[in-house]
Every structure is written in structure tokens, then in C-alpha cells.
Amino acid sequence: MGSLVGQTESNIRQALQITDAMAPCVLFLDECEKALAGVASPGQTDSGVSARLFGSFLSWLNDHTSDVFVVATCNDITKLPPEFSRAERFDGVFFLDLPGASQQGKIWDICLNHFELDPNQPKPKTTDWTGAEIRGCCRLAALLDIPLVEAAQNVVPVSVTAAESVQCLRDWASGRCLDADVPGIYNRNGGGARKSRRSIPRDPSLNSQPCNSPNIFRQPPSAAKR
């Protein structure tokens, strides 16, 4: 973002030109819903600068022929316009759920080795823990020289502190996103990749509703009669 009129638009064009010149390369956008936070404004707050920046990036995503592989992460995709993640701009939208038991086991091995802890000591029950929380538990055990089970008593996972938000994201992603663990569409009920999309609301306006909306996941009457 620049302070002068037209500077922001010039910056994004220059950044994309540099990206094309560096190809083949990977363009990684972290927390993209925060970087593009102003695109949904009517243009009264920033004179439409964010919207024009977003438009330039959308055009590049759709039209560029350089060998640039774009990867973007997002914590709340409902804050992004639906045209951002459509086909031919992104090949797929994947949902990364909390790590499972086998994934957590590998994370434990990495963290125990990193902090030089005894790998044979009992591990706490870490259902719905993230990798960062497992690492935090190991770091705390190493700093205080205490067992992992005791260190875990001071760790409150995000699945507890933000249980509603986690469940909301899972509900939204079910049937809408590809599964990052197994081939096919993500299904929060564990039904695998063959989940039908018929129970998913088809109203495009639902993509922009906040997660706390009570009607966003309600099955439409027409679908219920099928």
C-alpha cells in the first residue's frame, strides 16, 4: 500500500511483473483474507484502492502464462469474494483439519527430538490438538524440566478456546472443499470423498455470510424434498 495516488496499483503491478520474471517459482500468500480485507468495502473508506488492487491480482491469476505456482492460506474463507477461488484461478480449495492421531505422532517425534526430550515417556491425550500446541507442550516440558503429562496441564487447545469457530469452519468446508488428507471432497462426518453436494445450499449469497449466521447451513426446502 502506497501513500500517493496510484502508488498502490503501481506496486501490485510491479510485484506481479517481478513474479513473472522469476518463473518458475512459487508465490505464497499467507493470511490472504487479511491482506485483502478492504475488497468488500464500497470504496468509501479507501477510494476503491483495495478493490482495484484486488482486480489487478484477479486478472493476473486468470491470464498469466508464466510458470508460477500460487499457494494461498486463509483462516476464514467466508471473508473472501467467491470469484477469488473459482476454477482457472485456483485449481482447488483444500480444507486442512486438525491433525489426526498418526499426524500427531509424527509431530510428537519431531518436537521431542528438537527439544531433546525422552521419547519413551508417557504422552498426554492430545485429541484435537494442533501442531503448535504439541510443540508448546514440549517446549514447556524442556524449560521447566517436567514430564509431558504435567506440562500438558498448562496447555488449552484452540479446539476448546474457539470450539464454535472450529466447528463452524468444519461445517462450511463439508461438501465445499477438497480434503487435504484423502482424495475427494471433505466430509466432516467421516464419510470419505464420496459425499454428495445436494445437501449444500446453492444460494451464492451464502458465500459472503458470516459463520455465526444461523441460516448459512440450513438445508433449503427444495433439497429436503429430494
Q: Nearest-CA neighbor of 40 among 72, 76, 70? A: 76
Domain ranges within the chain, ordered by starting residue: 7-92, 97-209
The per-residue pLDDT for 52 is 80
Least trusted range by pLDDT, from 47-61, 67-81, 205-219: 205-219
**Distance between CA atoms of 48 and 46, rounded to whole angstroms?**
5
Q: Please give the grid coordinates belonging to residue 33.
A: 483474507
**Residue type (1 letter), 144:** L
Is residue 174 a contact partner of residue 188, using CB atoms and an 8 Å limit? yes
pTM of the model: 0.67
Report the CATH fold assignment for 7-92: Rossmann fold (3.40.50)
DSSP β-bridge partners for residue 25? 68
Q: Is the pLDDT of residue 171 over 80?
A: yes
Is residue 33 a contact partner of residue 77, using CB atoms and an 8 Å limit? yes
Q: What is the mean pLDDT of the chain?
A: 80
Residues 6+ apart with CB under 8 A from 103: none
E strand or H helix that includes residue 28: strand 25-29
Is residue 226 a contact partner of residue 198, using CB atoms and an 8 Å limit? yes
Q: Is the pLDDT of residue 215 over 80?
A: no
**Alpha-carbon radius of gyration of the chain:** 22
Q: Residues 96-125: pLDDT tens digits?
A: 899 988 999 999 999 999 999 999 999 998
Residues 6+ apart with CB under 8 A from 46: 38
The CA-atom distances, in angstroms, between 85 and each of 74, 153, 201, 210, 224 are: 11, 40, 18, 17, 28
The CA-atom distances, in angstroms, between 207 and each of 48, 74, 180 are: 22, 14, 21
Strand, coil or helix: 178: strand
